[in-house]
Amino acid sequence: MTQPAPAAEAATHKSTPADGGSPWRAAVARADVRTLSLLGVLAALIVIGGITQPDSFLDSDNVQLILTQASVIGVVTVGMTFVIISGGIDLSVGAIVALASVWATTVATQDFGFAGILFTAVIVGMGCGLVNGVLIAYGAIVPFIATLAMLAAGRGLALQITDGKTQMVTVDGVLKLGERDSYILGIPPLVLVFAAVTVVGWLILNRTTFGRRSVAVGGNAEAARLAGIDVRRQRLYLYLLSGLCCGIAAFLLIILSGSGQNTNGNLYELDAIAAVIIGGTLLSGGRGTITGSVLGVLIFTTIQNIFALNNLETATQQIAKGAIIVAAVLVQRRSATTS
Amino acid sequence: MPSHTSRRGLLFGAAALSTGALITGCTSNESKDDDSDDKSQQVADDKPGKKVTIGFAGPQADHGWLNAINDNAKKRAEKYSDVTLEATEGSNDTAAQIGQVETLINKKVDVLVVLPADGKALTQVGLKAMKAGIPVVNLDRVFASPQAYRCWIGGDNYGMGLSAGHYIGEKLKDKKNARVVELAGLDNLELTKQRSKGFDDALKNYPNIKKVARQAADFTVESGQSKMSQLLQAQKNFDALWNHDDDQGVGALRAIKQAGRDDFLMVGGAGALSAMQAIEADNSVLKATVLYPPTMAASAIDLARALGQGKGVNGMAEFEIPSFVTCYSAVVDKENVGQYMSTGFK
């Protein structure tokens, strides 16, 4: 909670690697109490799942299922982590996923096959991120408002493109990626993409100047500016990064559902923000971890899986989800303050 | 009330039935200018009659079925040379839709057709239209007060559940300890509860069948894929699945394919084109879908036109159009899919 302002630290370390030791030891050292408590929550959930549904919860199909379902929102959450660490917020992620997925699945893109769909999804995602970034960094519009506007406009545009219709994907290569034949060593390709995005995100945050600048801007923007960081450009890049993650997530969702629909990515903004916060990132910026966010996503997905396997009703699911969010944050705060 | 209706029916109904249709059929040219009191005996038909302006306020078409509703209304209105359709931009915002209906009232349209985003919230403006002398045809989502509409036409959610339950029941009636799974729609909506109630009630007729699981999705492809893949994981074997909605069914079918399962029969709901095509191709677990016909919007235009022209409904002895019409939730399977294919919506 009371770490020194990282701006000065970032400025002095600007061109040198953060740690001299092996990355593994550094990682272990950084794995603070919060991360361990999250692992504890996840382990507890796994025990609950294993006890209530021993036959279906612990089999490999279900593990694949949980990881696959975590992939789409997980990629979005990695981008969201950067934005929140920098003291911002991105409410438009769900809308960007919807817009990217419908644009990428229009009839026109299908003629260009796999590459056309992937390219369109990523470009649309980054385009939206760029607009967010320019509005926030150079238009001086607060992130909450700028991305709220993008949420509304993006959803509207997605609806206009689809006319309310579900756009089916006809490109075999895309559809195949979501099916069992494409699993690599038993791992669905979606999960591999999620893992890659997580690793790259972790490296960027912890091993690059860009990562330290992001933290510095969130800790104290004025100090960061005085230390020579171009705060505005940094903010622009951060929303662009979030948009890129949404574009990738949209492509994963297309693979998963075999279609594009304007309702895609519904409430992703809330799920991603919740996962980031549960993961121990400060909503006010300045501190946060990718590992925590990804664990937050896995906790959510595992909860939903356990609910479905136990055939809980929707109302019960929602109440229990709320209770678990509060419990997870309380446990974390307790373990963080007592350490 | 019943005696009143039957008296009218007895006195004039028979005459209207036997001769009314004949008269309008043969002498429609003359009767067009005829303002005598036997006008009320006429039934609406395709021939041009008195010009009618119909105001149409529909919801935002953010879903295949709602899109089909708007399409059906517009296409049917184009069919009649005597009908002018004043359609507002669809809206899911209650305040905006109230404003749109008020604008149509101010324009003094002859008849209103309203599919409210929220029936209860639009009741007041329905009453206002009726008081202004504009009859309202309330489409599908029902107003809170019968005084707010002259005629209601809509679908039967409970009946959808019944039809699905009976279809599955008949298919599985010889199977001992049959297991059924339900993928419901959005649980926040009352209609979802009605569909489930109808399904459960139908299954009570088949003591050999047990519903072993029910999960609710959100009517979207994404939620359908997600919830169905979890249901498949939870239920390693079952005999039939009822999915409330064909849009989320696209996702459910995808999940079924991804899990490599084909050991059960699936019944869908609503009547999407993709579902009908899959039923016709017969290459997936989807064997039938229960209709919630979007053609009701076309019927609403028919009823509105008849109201505007002061005519009754063809094939019925009533002088006036009925006050309540509930569409039947037919089951479309491989046998009859050809007949319904044209009503399938994208």
Residue-wise pLDDT for B222-252, tens only, equals: 999 999 999 999 999 999 999 999 999 999 9
Chain A residue numbers touching B236 (CB-CB < 8 A): 55-56
> To which H or E segment does residue A259 belong?
strand A259-260
Domain identity same for B169 and B146? no
> A54-338 has which fold?
ABC transporter involved in vitamin B12 uptake, BtuC (1.10.3470)
Same domain, B146 and B206: no
Residue B26 lies in a domain: no
Q: Residue B146 is part of which domain span? A: 52-155+295-311
- Name which of A204, A188, A242, A295 is nearest A76 in CA terms: A242
Residue B188, domain member (yes or no) = yes
Whether residue B62 lies within 8 A of chain A, CB to CB, comes out as: yes
Host H or E run for residue A260: strand A259-260
Asked whether the predicted pLDDT for residue A185 surpasses 70, the reply is: yes
> What pLDDT sits at residue B314?
83
Tokens of A31: 């794995």
- d(C-alpha A256, C-alpha A188), whole Å: 11
> Does B6 contact chain A (CB < 8 Å)?
no
B284 shares a domain with B300? no
Q: Are residues B300 and B151 in the same domain?
A: yes
Q: Per-residue pLDDT averaged across B253-272, rounded?
A: 95
Residue B179 has pLDDT above 60, yes or no: yes
Residues B163 and B118 in one domain: no
Looking at the fold, whether B71 and B117 belong to one and the same domain comes out as yes
Residues B338 and B189 in one domain: yes
pLDDT of residue A339: 43
Determine the average pLDDT of the residues in A40-59: 92
- Separation between Cα atoms, residue A202 and residue A218, nearest integer Å: 17
SS3 of residue A40 by DSSP: helix
The HSE-up count of residue A175 (CA atoms within 13 Å, CB side) is 14
Whole-number Cα distances in Å, A68 to A171, A177, A194, A247, B8: 21, 12, 9, 17, 66
Quick: pLDDT tens for B19-61. 444 444 444 444 444 444 444 457 788 888 899 999 999 988 7
Q: Is residue B226 part of a domain?
A: yes
Tokens of A108: 């026109």
Question: What's the pLDDT score for residue A23?
Answer: 63
One-letter identity of residue B243: N
CB contact under 8 A, B254 and A257: yes
Contacts of B222 in chain A (CB under 8 A): 253, 256-257, 261, 263-266
Residues of A in contact with B250 (CB under 8 A): 166, 168, 257-259
| Residues B144 and B176 reside in one and the same domain | no
- Closest residue by Cα to residue B46 from B85, B80, B73, B75: B80
Whether B213 is in a domain gets the answer yes
Q: Is the pLDDT of residue B140 over 60?
A: yes
pLDDT at B68 over 80: yes
Task: Identify each DSSP E strand in chain B by its residue range.
Answer: 52-57, 83-87, 111-114, 136-139, 151-154, 178-184, 209-216, 240-243, 265-270, 286-291, 324-326, 331-333
Whether B191 and B339 map to the same domain: the answer is yes
Contact at CB, A166 and B274, closer than 8 angstroms: yes
User: Domain for residue B72, yes or no?
Assistant: yes
Same domain, B192 and B151: no
Residue B19: inside a domain? no
Domains contained in chain B, number: 2
B238 and B276, same domain (yes or no):
yes
Q: For A153-167, B18-32, B192-206, B289-303, which range has the lowest pLDDT when averaged over its residues?
A: B18-32
Give the best residue of B92, B254, B262, B277 to mutate against chain A (max A CB count within 10 A).
B254
R_g of chain A computed on alpha carbons: 20
CB contact under 8 A, A253 and B251: no
B59 within a domain of the structure (yes/no): yes
Nearest to A262 among B62, B215, B251 (CB): B62
Q: What is the CATH number of the domain that holds B103?
A: 3.40.50.2300
Q: Report the 10 Å Cβ neighbour count for A230.
A: 14
3-state SS of chain B: helix, strand, coil percent to 5? 45, 20, 35
B328 within domain boundaries: no
Burial label, A129 (beta-carbon count in 10 A; 0-12, 13-18, 19+): buried
Q: Which of A65, A68, A259 is opposite residue B250, by nearest beta carbon?
A: A259
Q: Does B64 touch chain A (CB under 8 A)?
A: yes
Q: Are residues B142 and B173 in the same domain?
A: no
Range from A20-24, A46-50, B48-52 carrying the lowest mean pLDDT? A20-24
Mean pLDDT of A283-310: 93
Between A329 and A298, where is the model more confident? A298
CB pairs A-B closer than 8 Å: 100
For residue A257, what is the nearest residue in chain B, using CA coordinates?
B251
Which amino acid appears at position B136 of this protein?
Answer: V
ipTM value > 0.90: no
